[in-house]
Structure 1
Amino acid sequence: MSQPVKLYGFPLSGHSHRVELFASVAGIQFESVLVDLASGEHKQEAFLSMNPFGQVPVMEDGDVVLSDSNAILVYLARKYAPDWMPSGALEEAEVQRMFSLAAGEIANGPAAARLITVFGAGLDAERAKAVAALGLGRLEKHLDGKTWTVGERPSVADISLYTYIAHAPEGNVGLDEYPNIQGWLSRIEALDGFTPMKATKVGLAA
Structure 2
Amino acid sequence: MNAPLKLYSFAPFDRAARVRWTAHELGVPVEEVGLNYIAGEHREAAYRAKNPFCRVPLVETDQGAMVQSVAICQYLAEQHPESGLVPPLDSPLRASWLSWLFVGASDLDAAGFQVLNYTVLRPDPEKRATAIRVAEPLLQVIEAHMADRDYVVGDRFTLPDIVLGHELVLLSFCRALDGWPHLIRYRDRLSQRPAAQASGLFGVLKHEPPAVKASAG
Q: TM-score, normalised by structure 2?
A: 0.82
Q: Judge conservation of contact 2:108–2:167 (CA < 8 Å) in 1.
A: yes
Tell whether 2:164 aligns with 1:164. Answer: no
Tell whether 2:186 aligns with 1:184. Answer: yes
1:17-56 equivalences under 5 Å are 17-56=17-56
Larger mean CA deviation between 80-89 and 34-43 belongs to 80-89
1:19-168 equivalences under 5 Å are 19-81=19-81, 82-87=83-88, 88-120=90-122, 124-168=127-171
Report what 2:15 is aligned to. 15
Q: Judge conservation of contact 2:7–2:60 (CA < 8 Å) in 1.
A: yes
Q: Judge conservation of contact 1:19–1:72 (CA < 8 Å) in 2.
A: yes
Q: Judge conservation of contact 2:25–2:195 (CA < 8 Å) in 1.
A: yes
Three-state SS of the structure 2 residue aligned to 1:84 is: coil
Q: Whose Rg is larger?
A: 2
Q: Structure 1 residues 113, 64: closer, same or farther in 2, change over 3 A?
A: same
Three-state SS of the structure 2 residue aligned to 1:32 is: strand
Q: Which ranges in structure 2 are unaligned for 5 or more consecutive residues?
A: 212-217
Q: CA shift at 1:73, angstroms? A: 0.8
Partners of 1:61 and 1:151 in 2: CA distance: 31
| Residue identity in the other structure for 1:168 | L
Three-state SS of the structure 2 residue aligned to 1:176 is: coil
Partners of 1:30 and 1:172 in 2: CA distance: 30
Moved over 6 A (4+): none
When the two chains are superposed, the root-mean-square deviation of aligned CA atoms in Å is 2.3
Three-state SS of the structure 1 residue aligned to 2:15 is: helix
Q: CA shift at 1:145, angstroms? A: 1.6
Three-state SS of the structure 2 residue aligned to 1:105 is: helix
Q: Judge conservation of contact 1:51–1:67 (CA < 8 Å) in 2.
A: yes
* Deviation digits for residues 28-59 of structure 1 (CA, Å, limit 9, x no counterpart): 12211112111111112222222221111011
Q: CA shift at 1:13, angstroms? A: 4.2
Q: Structure 1 residues 120, 192: closer, same or farther in 2, change over 3 A?
A: same
* Deviation digits for residues 67-107 of structure 1 (CA, Å, limit 9, x no counterpart): 00110110010013541111244422222212222233322
| Residue identity in the other structure for 2:189 | R
Partners of 1:62 and 1:8 in 2: CA distance: 16
Q: Judge conservation of contact 2:10–2:35 (CA < 8 Å) in 1.
A: yes
Q: Which ranges in structure 1 are unaligned for 5 or more consecutive residues?
A: none
Q: Judge conservation of contact 1:19–1:73 (CA < 8 Å) in 2.
A: yes
Q: CA shift at 1:183, angstroms? A: 1.7
Q: CA shift at 1:144, angstroms? A: 2.4
Larger mean CA deviation between 112-121 and 37-46 belongs to 112-121
